[in-house]
Amino acid sequence: MELCTMKELLQDAYRNGYAVPAFNVCNLENIQGILEAAEECRAPVIIQAHWLEAYYSSPETVVSIVKAEGERRRVRAAIHLDHGAAYEDTVKCVRGGFTSVMYDGSQLPLEENIANLRKVCEMARAVGVTVEGEIGTIGQNSEIGDVLERVYMTDPMEAKRLADETQIDCLAVAIGNAHGFYTSAPQLDFKRLSAITELVKIPIVLHGGTGIPCDQLQKAIGMGVSKVNFSSVLRKAFIKNMYSYMEHNPDEISLMDIMNSGKEAMKEIVRDCIDMCMCRDRY
């Protein structure tokens, strides 16, 4: 496995008109399934953990599993902290071996978001770690389902200011995308995205990839989106197939077989996401 910074992966995607899919993980089978599918598809991937997922074991544990499982595979990957809630989260994950971190200050006033991101960038840049920032809220709920107090779309001029004043490596934006499952067909605001990419000359990140129609997703990629996050769709496939397996095998007590049934279903979704991001055969 070639363990990279996220910046390395996104720069190539940004130049060549595709996106790198980022998949949330919290256990061994999640990591195995993503790496196996990535190797089969010859696709670069980002393995990421929300700060709660990282702390479920520890950042060091996440990194150790990725390295151990990736050692025997031909795959190019980054390990990323998703939605770090505080400066301390980014420090813990950098110390644990993550190759990129996200600080999410989107609920803060712009000046405070910028000030905190500068601090994160100074720390991360010293050790060659990529930083993702966010401005705008991804739907009305956080990535773990909490209702957001402050809901707003990304303002292009504020996006430019955040990018310029922090020198982040990539920027997550809100253009009609949302975390979790969409209650109605999503419609991305391409006019807003165009205004953002006219002003912000770094890779753009689209959270809430679950449920965005392929044509809209690929149009956004053509406009500068270089990273797309997927989480809910993977978890749903994993759990649904695991339930089905247990219903058909009620006496099964092999945890390996039960968990593997979920992993195999999840791999199908990973392959689909790779194809939507147009990154098959990019490694």
The CA-atom distances, in angstroms, between 80 and each of 49, 83, 93, 182 are 6, 10, 8, 25
Q: Can you give the pLDDT at residue 147?
A: 46
Which CATH architecture group holds 2-276? Alpha-Beta Barrel (3.20)
State the first-to-last Cα distance of the chain, in angstroms, to the nearest integer: 11
In whole angstroms, give the CA distance from residue 237 to residue 257. 16
Q: Which residues contact 155 (CB under 8 A, 6 or more apart)?
A: 135, 136
Amino acid code (one letter) for 106: S
Q: Can you give the pLDDT at residue 178?
A: 80
Q: Can you give the pLDDT at residue 146?
A: 53
Q: Cα dihedral sign for 76, 231, 81, 9?
A: positive
Q: Which residues of the chain have pLDDT under 70?
A: 139-151
In angstroms, how far is CA 88 from the centroid of its own chain?
20
Domain ranges of the chain: 2-276
* pLDDT, tens digit, 9 for 90 and up, residues 155-203: 999 999 999 999 999 999 999 888 777 777 789 999 999 999 999 999 9
- For residue 104 the two structure tokens come to 């999410």
In whole angstroms, give the CA distance from residue 274 to residue 157. 31
Amino acid code (one letter) for 123: M
* pLDDT, tens digit, 9 for 90 and up, residues 104-120: 999 899 999 999 999 99
Tell me if 110 sits within 8 A of 158, measured CB to CB.
yes
The one catalytic residue in 82, 89, 104, 169 is 82
In whole angstroms, give the CA distance from residue 6 to residue 234. 21
Q: Which residues contact 86 (CB under 8 A, 6 or more apart)?
A: none
pTM above 0.95, yes or no: no
Q: Which residues contact 183 (CB under 8 A, 6 or more apart)?
A: none
Active-site residue flag, 82: yes
User: What φ, ψ does residue 154 adopt, rounded to 5°?
Assistant: -70, 125
As beta bridge partners, residue 227 has 20, 205
